[in-house]
Homo-oligomer: A and B are copies of this chain.
């Protein structure tokens, strides 16, 4: 059950409003790497994860991400509400859709659930979460580099910090399952190619820990699948090519 208090989790104090920067901030409200993605991803995972302690962790972090979403929303509201009309309208998106946050990214694309990565298995979920945190952190860094407003920077730095904390928590959980550095999970046995690396993009090749022993490096891979069968398409039979022949 969700509750809400009309106070913020952490302070949000914009000094100098800037509607254009407000538009950038939408990236973390309604964008791919934003807080809505994180909140919904972790929370929806909690419905299918069996382990109670992992469910607890997922829900703790999900609720924190909802609080972050609220903070980003307040940042956007302050960047678009605290100034006179003409300045607000410097950012065309707010001129058309109104002040305050909207569930679109900085380019005006509507948020969609294709941003979410989850399903079936807890190891898969936790790996998806580490990736989500990395994306969110990256965008916060990009945002911090684009503003001089101290209040904004303080809030964004906190939000970036928490992505690191969450990443560490997910790493610890994976490690407790032995799955932080073990690629294998699930019930299907891999086949004999599991240690082979194929050099399919050639030229300027490099060797490193990911394609050296114990990996077996196949320098010039050749097709092993033979000529594929031609399709039989009953809808294609009535128009035939004239004048072609095998080369």
Range class of the A interface residue count: 35 or more
Q: Which residue of B lies closest to A63 (CB)?
A: B200
Q: Any chain B CB within 8 A of the CB of A18?
A: no
* Per-residue B-contact encoding for A159-184, CB less than 8 Å = 1, 0 else: 01110110111111101111111011
Q: A59-B4, A206-B52 are in contact. Are A98 and B133 (CB under 8 A)?
A: no
Flag if B164 contacts A184 (CB, 8 Å). yes
In the bound complex, CA of A62 to CA of B53 (Å):
28
Copies held by the complex: 6
In the bound complex, CA of A232 to CA of B240 (Å):
42
Flag if B97 contacts A104 (CB, 8 Å). no
User: Which listed residue, B5, B119, B168, touches A1 by the CB 8 Å rule?
Assistant: B5
Q: A54-B241, A100-B231, A134-B124 are in contact. Are A197 and B209 (CB under 8 A)?
A: no
* Per-residue B-contact encoding for A182-206, CB less than 8 Å = 1, 0 else: 0111111111011111111111111
Q: Any chain B CB within 8 A of the CB of A12?
A: yes
- Can you name 23 A-B residue pairings with CB atoms under 8 Å? A1-B225, A5-B203, A6-B56, A6-B228, A8-B224, A36-B40, A44-B103, A47-B74, A48-B98, A50-B231, A57-B206, A60-B200, A96-B105, A109-B110, A114-B114, A119-B138, A128-B131, A131-B132, A161-B190, A167-B183, A169-B210, A179-B239, A206-B246
Excluding A3-B63, A81-B233, A176-B208, 8 further A-B contacts by CB distance (< 8 Å) are A1-B5, A3-B202, A57-B208, A98-B120, A112-B113, A114-B114, A168-B183, A173-B208
